[in-house]
Structure 1
Amino acid sequence: MPFEIFKQLFGDLEEYVIQQSETGNRCVVVPQLGAIVRQLSLRKNLTLFSVLKTPPTPEKLKEDSKSASELLFPFASRIPQGKYKFLGKPYQLEKNETGNQNAIHGLVRKRQFHLEEQAVHIDHASLTFSYLLDSPDGYPFTVKFLVKYSLHADGRFVVDYEALNQGNDPCPVMFGWHPYFVLGNEDADAWKINIPSDTVVTFDDNQIPTGVANLQIGKPALLNNREFDNCFVVKSDEPSATTELISDNQHITLKITQETGEGKFNHLVIYTPPARDCVAIEPLTANVDSFNSGDGLNILAPGNKIEGKITLKLD
């Protein structure tokens, strides 16, 4: 068959693999660690590129504090002091950022996810995983979170998420994905980036939004000697927007496309780690600290759901 799904061990971690036999395209998912994508390989002409940077051993993957490839839900980025108000009531989340100053990156990281479905078709294969948030500390709501990973015959890799409010009260939700991307063995300084935005979010010293400013860089912009640790307001007249990570030397472009519009991925974080060996490109459904500001925040009524899509393609 063109596609297959199988299980394998990575140390003592069990992984699920979707693989396309003809191209070698594959994704590897670790349910035990928050259903992260540990490996994603996509072919361009004769070369199979591994486009995600994640820790190289099971031990380092378990210990990872940089959120490599993690799913960020029901909030992403920082909530100052872990404090927020929702419908007039105050709540306190665990301050789990290094330094214990803020809550960061949600409540499903490194949690054991449940395999909901696996499906193999002629033109694609998919894996769907779920995690039930059942009134954890600081978030007294019941939400079923699902993520579906699909690998397609045309080379697309698709991340679909869904959140369903299974409780009796409205609840706030925000979703983000936190992949670190690589293009071959080049350093980030060799690449260009095309950001679908004219507006950058301004931060205080605690990286909490204070407003916005005009984004004044080239499109595409050289990454050489340029540092990013910014959130952007996505601009698009279409139902999607695409960030491009470009290697002219290798004649490849990684396209990260996020759905836009009401309730979708209207924000984007870009981060260049000090090692300059990868770039984090993180689609977000809301602004940083949206649990307090409400900027882009989705509020789910009981029984309602929200969903969205991120698509990767190597051109």
Structure 2
Amino acid sequence: MPFEIFKQQFGDLTEYVIHESTTENRCVIIPELGGIVRQLSLRKNLTLFSILKSPPTPQSLVDDTQSANELLFPFASRIPNGKYKFLGKEYQLENNETGGLNAIHGLVRKKPFVIGEQSIEPDHASITLSYNIEKSAGYPFSVWFSVKYSLHSDGRFTLEYHAKNIGSELCPVMFGWHPYFVLGDEQTDAWKISIPSSQIVAFDSNQIPIGKEPFFLERPTLLYRKAFDNCFIVDNGSSNAVTELISENQHVTLRIDQEAGEGKFNYLVLYTPPARDCVAIEPLTANVDSFNSGDGLNILGTGDVIEGKITVTLV
């Protein structure tokens, strides 16, 4: 079989690698550090692209505060002052954003995930990881959260998440993925992007939603001198939404396909860091601060499950 799964060390961290020998496609996963994908390499013709930007050393990865490639659950983005109200009750989360102003990006970041099923088939290989949230501070609910990473022989990488309420009360859940994408050694200004949205979320000075506005931008549009730190509502009418990051110089397009529709990934955050060397393209299942607004929020009863899939390809 062309696929294999093996372990290797990255300093004191243990990595699991899914590798496909025909193309050299691979993804490198660190279960003990929030179940993140540290490296994702995909081939386009003769070129093998490493398409995720990650901190370069084990210690810098442990110390990272920018959520590079992290899984964000049971909420993503900011909750102002860490306070939210759910079913008439008020809750207080830790204000863990730099500066201590807000709660940000959930409760599973840098937590040790448990390795579950590992599967090798002729046309794909996958690893499933999980983490139990058990009545954390400010989130007194019990949720089993898992993610399945797969590499496919046709060059697709897929991330499938699954969340189940294993407690006795209704619970709010939101999921997001926070990858920083690169295309070779080019800077952001050389790329074009196609954003599957005609509505943008209006933020206050604390980047908390205060409304929605029409969004008009040529598809694709050159990123030269454009800066984003915005949330978008993906266009309705399709079962998926595709963001494209395009390098015409390298004749390659990165496609991020997020399932859309009821309960799925109907929001998208884009961020261009000041260094202009990568783009964060972050599919979300709900709007920023949905724990307060309810905008896109999934509410699970006892035993209820919510799931969704993100697909990454090079064309």
Using structure 2 for the length normalisation, give the TM-score: 1.00
Shift of 1:199: 0.4
1-side partners of 2:144 and 2:116: how far apart? 12
Q: Is 1:27 the equivalent of 2:27?
A: yes
Shift of 1:101: 0.4
> 1:147 aligns to what?
147
Shift of 1:236: 3.7
Shift of 1:237: 1.9
> 2:216 aligns to what?
216
Aligned length: 315
1:141 partner SS:
strand
> 2:92 aligns to what?
92
Root mean square deviation, CA, Å? 0.4
Shift of 1:244: 0.2
Paired letter, 1:151: L
> 1:44 aligns to what?
44
Shift of 1:218: 1.2
Q: Is 1:133 the equivalent of 2:136?
A: no
- The answer to whether the 8 Å contact 1:196/1:236 transfers is no
> 1:66 aligns to what?
66
Residue deviations 1:21-80 (CA, integer Å, cap 9, x gap): 010000000001100000000000000000000000000000000000000000000000
> 1:181 aligns to what?
181
> 1:289 aligns to what?
289
2-side partners of 1:107 and 1:296: how far apart? 19
Matches within 5 A, 1:13-24: 13-24=13-24
Paired letter, 2:205: D
Paired letter, 1:112: P
Between the two proteins, what is the percent identity of the paired residues?
69
1:62 partner SS:
helix
> 2:305 aligns to what?
305
- The answer to whether the 8 Å contact 1:258/1:311 transfers is yes
> 2:101 aligns to what?
101
- The answer to whether the 8 Å contact 1:162/1:307 transfers is yes
Shift of 1:221: 1.0
Residue deviations 1:104-130 (CA, integer Å, cap 9, x gap): 000000000000110000000000000
- The answer to whether the 8 Å contact 1:80/1:208 transfers is yes
Using structure 1 for the length normalisation, give the TM-score: 1.00
- The answer to whether the 8 Å contact 1:159/1:309 transfers is yes
**More moved, 213-222 vs 269-278:** 213-222
2-side partners of 1:308 and 1:25: how far apart? 23
Residue deviations 1:233-253 (CA, integer Å, cap 9, x gap): 000422101000000000000
2-side partners of 1:218 and 1:145: how far apart? 38
Shift of 1:131: 0.2
Shift of 1:216: 1.9
2:32 partner SS:
helix
2:140 partner SS:
coil
Question: Mind listing any 5+ residue stretches in structure 2 that lack a counterpart?
Answer: none
Residue deviations 1:232-282 (CA, integer Å, cap 9, x gap): 000042210100000000000000000000000000000000000000000
Matches within 5 A, 1:152-171: 152-171=152-171
Paired letter, 2:15: E
> 1:314 aligns to what?
314
Paired letter, 1:291: F
2:4 partner SS:
strand
